[in-house]
Amino acid sequence: MEVFLPASTKISDCDVEATFVLEINDTDSENGDTVEMPVNAKAPVKVRPMEEQLNYFSSYLRSAKEKFLAKWENPEKTSLASDDTKLNDFSIVKTIGTGSFGRVVLGEHVASGKFYAIKILHKAKIVRLKQVEHTLNEKRILETISFPFIVDMQFHFKDNSNLYMALEFVNGGELFSLIRKEGKFKEDTARFYGSQVILAIEYLHSIDIAYRDLKPENLLIDNSGYLKLTDFGFAKMVRGRTWTLCGTPEYLAPEIILSKGYGRAVDWWAVGVLIFEMIAGYPPFFADQPIQVYEKIVAGKLRFPFFMSLDARNLLSNLLQGDTTKRFGNMRNGVADIQSHIWFSSIDWVDIFERKVVPQFVPSVLDATDTSNFDDYPEEILPQAKSMQYEEEFEDF
């Protein structure tokens, strides 16, 4: 569920003390023993030295940033707008997802025979919910980024009532569905998926983009078993602080809830929540009502299941760190603190990036049009006005 925290919802109203305490909960284990956390854990030397891996990505990200800026600073030259395209150019197969502002459908471009996941957004809903800026940000960001673990937008267009973004169709289903099916992952599996997410976030941060909506529902599994990050509705270029209250309750960093202003470090907190949920089968902070979730996040007490390894606990305690100056990913060494952590010692980051690691799970898909890994949704007739609606608001789409 995506939510916007109303301005009136403040933790100060909930009488919660904003201190962060690490608590290991082993009450589910047979003997109930507490476990000491390893301090300053470092990964052992790999077959491919860590320095070599870090240098590889440093070089790659420098080049990637140059390519991004060339597009970002010249939007008129790099636009993926397709003014001649209309929805009638597609044969709609079925709806594969729904959201607050519209839906995602699988469509076949009749002339080319290519299939796309078409994100359809209702202009009126976007304006009513004051999401024009977020929508334009999403379009512009998707138009200019390129990374192996991020969904690729092919083109976009609009008509009188709706906006359309044609994305590559990733048909292995959501990571969310796989977690629910399996209950929880072995740590090797969580490590495999987590490493891809970390590389995607590292790429986005290298070009000053905060993603701000990491959760299993926004991670798609391709037909090879690798992840693709999707839904950039909350993504934003952030070079300092921002104050927008947006996201999913269980994945919000404490600084968002406390309305302190926040930076890209919120994504590393969310990475911690994701890894925890993959291993445990549930997020570290959950409750029946969002306000109760916020209270738990700000209280900051981590309770680990007994079966979680010491190394995983150590990593997560550093990602789910309330003090942003001590949070992994946001310190002097940046993402290197995460990548060199002992929990990732079996990961060769270059091999992950180059997709050389054999996934433990490969989705069952018949062909490029197989939608069996997605839920069924009721179809609806798209509203279509007789004249162009909200032309000024969406002039840049």
Q: Where is the binding site for ATP, in residues? A: 119
How far apart, in whole angstroms, are the C-alpha atoms of residue 379 and residue 165? 19
Burial pattern 36-70, b for ≥16 Cβ within 10 A else e, equals eeeeebebeebeeebeebbeebeebbeebeeebee
Residue 163 burial (CB < 10 Å; 0-12/13-18/19+)? buried
Q: Are 151 and 385 in contact (CB under 8 A)?
A: no
- Phi then psi dihedrals of residue 205, to 5 deg: -65, -30
Nearest-CA neighbor of 353 among 126, 151, 200?
A: 200
Q: Are 335 and 197 in contact (CB under 8 A)?
A: no
| Known binding-site residue numbers | 119
The residues, any chain, with a CB within 8 Å of residue 314's CB and separated by 6 or more, are 37, 38, 39, 41, 341, 342, 343
28 flagged as catalytic? no
Nearest-CA neighbor of 71 among 210, 237, 263?
A: 237
Catalytic residue among 26, 84, 89, 213: 213
Residues annotated as part of the active site = 213
